[in-house]
């Protein structure tokens, strides 16, 4: 029998999902506006240096980004997992010495299940498949947005290129 959620647990889950949705909807454009605004302030050098870094670092999203285990293990991801609820079902052993491409369908716009399973440790991917590193591939355009691209890469999200 499934345990009923407390009001506090539901509140935390709702706030977690709200944070995730708002990040998806406004963080990219907000970071872009902020960096462009800073060009016209006394902090202009910060923006210029970041844009130079962004150009030098342009291909990093294609290689899986810069994963941060700290970010991938934030408790907010577990609350998002519980809100929907998302479950990672292991049906076979996968060899850590091989590469795998997994499809996720239907995925919708924000891909809550795919994000929870493959971009975070919310669903426990590393425990289920030790030695395998997961990367969720997403639209290339998202990696053109300053600062937001680094947020995406920190979870191991990679740029999806057309074949």
pLDDT digits (tens, 9 = 90+) for 113-133: 999 999 999 999 999 999 999
Q: Give buried/exposed letters for 154-163 (b at 16+ CB in 10 A, else e).
A: bbbbbbbeee
81-87-90-95 Cα dihedral, nearest 10 degrees: -20
Q: Which two tokens stand for residue 75?
A: 């408790």
Q: Say yes or no to pLDDT of 85 above 70.
A: yes
Q: Say yes or no to pLDDT of 1 above 90.
A: no
Q: Say yes or no to pLDDT of 108 above 90.
A: no
Q: Looking at the domain assignment, is residue 51 inside a domain?
A: yes
End-to-end CA distance of the chain: 47
Q: Looking at the domain assignment, is residue 109 inside a domain?
A: yes
Q: Say yes or no to pLDDT of 14 above 70.
A: yes
- Which pLDDT score is estimated for 2? 67
Give the structural domain span for 83. Answer: 7-159
pLDDT digits (tens, 9 = 90+) for 21-49: 999 999 999 999 999 999 999 999 999 99
Q: Looking at the domain assignment, is residue 48 inside a domain?
A: yes
Q: Looking at the domain assignment, is residue 95 inside a domain?
A: yes
Reduced to 3 states (helix: H, G, I; strand: E, B; else coil), residue 115 is: helix
Give whole-number Cα distances, 71 to 28, 29, 99, in Å: 18, 21, 24
Q: Looking at the domain assignment, is residue 1 inside a domain?
A: no
**DSSP label at residue 159:** E
- Which pLDDT score is estimated for 103? 84
pTM, to two decimals:
0.87
Residue 25, judged by CB atoms within 10 A of its CB (0-12, 13-18, 19+), counts as exposed
The residue-averaged pLDDT of 135-144 equals 91
Q: Looking at the domain assignment, is residue 153 inside a domain?
A: yes
Domain count across the chain: 1
Residue 52, judged by CB atoms within 10 A of its CB (0-12, 13-18, 19+), counts as exposed
Q: Looking at the domain assignment, is residue 92 inside a domain?
A: yes
Q: Looking at the domain assignment, is residue 2 inside a domain?
A: no
Q: Give buried/exposed letters for 85-95 (b at 16+ CB in 10 A, else e).
A: ebebeeeeeee
């Amino acid at each position: 029998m499934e345990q009923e959620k407390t009001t506090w647990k539901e509140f935390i889950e709702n706030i977690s999902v709200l944070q995730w949705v708002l990040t998806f909807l406004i963080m990219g454009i907000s970071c872009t506006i902020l960096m462009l605004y800073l060009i016209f302030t006394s902090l202009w050098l910060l923006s210029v240096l970041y844009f130079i870094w962004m150009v030098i670092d342009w291909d990093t999203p294609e290689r899986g980004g810069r994963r941060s285990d700290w970010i991938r293990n934030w408790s907010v991801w577990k609350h998002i997992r519980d809100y929907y609820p998302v479950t990672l079902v292991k049906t076979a052993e996968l060899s850590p010495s091989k590469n795998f491409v997994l499809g996720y369908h239907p995925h919708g716009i924000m891909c809550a299940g795919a994000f929870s399973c493959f971009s975070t440790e919310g669903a426990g991917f590393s425990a289920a498949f030790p030695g395998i590193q997961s990367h969720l591939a997403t639209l290339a355009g998202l990696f053109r947005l300053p600062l937001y691209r680094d947020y995406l890469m920190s979870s191991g999200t990679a740029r999806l290129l057309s074949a």
